[in-house]
Amino acid sequence: MQISVLGATGSIGQSTLDLVRQHPEQFLVRGLTAHQDVEGMLALIRTHRPALVAMADPQAAAALQAACRSAGFLNTEVLAGEDGLRAVAADPQTERVVAGIVGVAGLSSVWAAVTAGKTILLANKEALVCAGALLVDQARRCAATILPIDSEHNAMFQCLGADYRCFERPAGVQGLVLTASGGPFRTWAAADIDKADVAAAIAHPNWVMGRKISVDSASLANKGLEFIEAHWLFAMPADQIQVVVHPQSLIHSMVAFDDGSTLAQLGSPDMRTPIAHALAWPKRITAGVPALRWNQISRLDFEQPDLSKFPALAMAQSALASGPAATTIFNAANEQAVAQFLEGGMAFGMIPKAISETLSGLSHRFSPPSSLEEVFEIDRQARAYCGQRLKEALAR
């Protein structure tokens, strides 16, 4: 099977390519994309010899092209910019596309893959959060198949059974139970969370991930994004999705059925398991992840999320209730605030404050977006607004 990986140099990309290396007889890398890491991409080209690569940054694309020539990789075509990403996503010979770009930056390539009717392994939850209704319609129109690889959604997808397809309302289901690790600040006092720095925020207790999603996990904004993602993927009303904190991250999520059964998917916190499930779907392959060892596990704990300490989760839920413009604003403000937090010099507590101010300052200005262009315009304005609020707050 020929696969393309969008965001190949990132954490999801690396886990995917590790699986490809484990199963060289089953998977062939057709296309790869990255933002600007020329050395990282060159190393991947050396290993996988893809026919197509794209760098979002045009200067990086030019540098990569030159590096490929001097290294003798003459069969790899190097594309540049958003058009290049979209060309890899929609490439006719690609059978499965792994959407592993972080943030709304991944939306236009996900859209291109959907429009080309691909089978898409979706990690890029921000695409669904920003453009859920539009993507669902487009996927139906273009007969695209979405296989969730965000671990929670992959877990629910597994629990829904072999015949289930995303975007259908699942029959006989009472609700979804979205589990959350609680992140590195689960047991911290609110005042300490407020002052936390970057090193503390990205030190996730169970998962090794990119920096942005690690910060989102610390604020529970990630669980808010995943709540919205679950709503769209499984056509599930918000009042039938509950969030439960489960600090061991062994249960990756659950589905409660009408007859009183609850099914859960369990495994080590290793993204290779959900990615392997979706790469091989509907079959199973090995992932290099051992099954849980029940002689080493003595308890599974659960608690309710503390929305006063982690207000970003509640904000995402109320944005979903307000409608698609609000979820786009929520995501944009979060991306902007997290990017500034990661640059340094800003306290962690400013992230939810900035999201809240952006939502209340902008939500009434927009009606639900009816095109991708409108989504990008809302995103642009919300980033600018949030950036300005943060600048003012930091100047005080």
- Smallest separation (angstroms) from ligand NAD to the CB of 174: 26
Contact string 143-182 vs ligand NAD (x = CB under 6 A): -------xx-------------------------------
Which of residues 125 and 309 has its CB atom nearest to ligand NAD in the complex? 125
Site for ligand NAD (CB under 6 A): which residue of 118, 125, 186, 272? Answer: 125
State the binding partner of 29 from ligand NAD, Mg ion, none, CB within 5 to 8 A by kind: none
Site for ligand NAD (CB under 6 A): which residue of 3, 53, 105, 346? Answer: 105
Binding site for Mg ion (CB under 5 A): 150-152
Please state, in angstroms and as integers, the Cα–Cα distance from residue 200 to each residue in 180, 185, 219, 347, 354, following that order.
Answer: 18, 8, 12, 11, 20
Which of residues 250 and 393 has its CB atom nearest to ligand NAD in the complex? 250
* Site residues (CB under 6 A) for ligand NAD, limited to 2-41: 7-13, 34-35, 37
Site for ligand NAD (CB under 6 A): which residue of 164, 167, 188, 207? Answer: 207
| Residues that contact ligand NAD, how many (by CB under 6 A) | 27
Which of residues 186 and 389 has its CB atom nearest to Mg ion in the complex? 186
- Smallest separation (angstroms) from Mg ion to the CB of 151: 5
Helix axes 38-48, 11-22, angle to 10 degrees: 10
Which of residues 274 and 352 has its CB atom nearest to ligand NAD in the complex? 274
- Smallest separation (angstroms) from ligand NAD to the CB of 228: 12
User: Which residues are at the interface with ligand NAD (CB under 6 A)?
Assistant: 7-13, 34-35, 37, 56, 100-102, 105, 123-126, 150-151, 207, 209-210, 212-213, 271
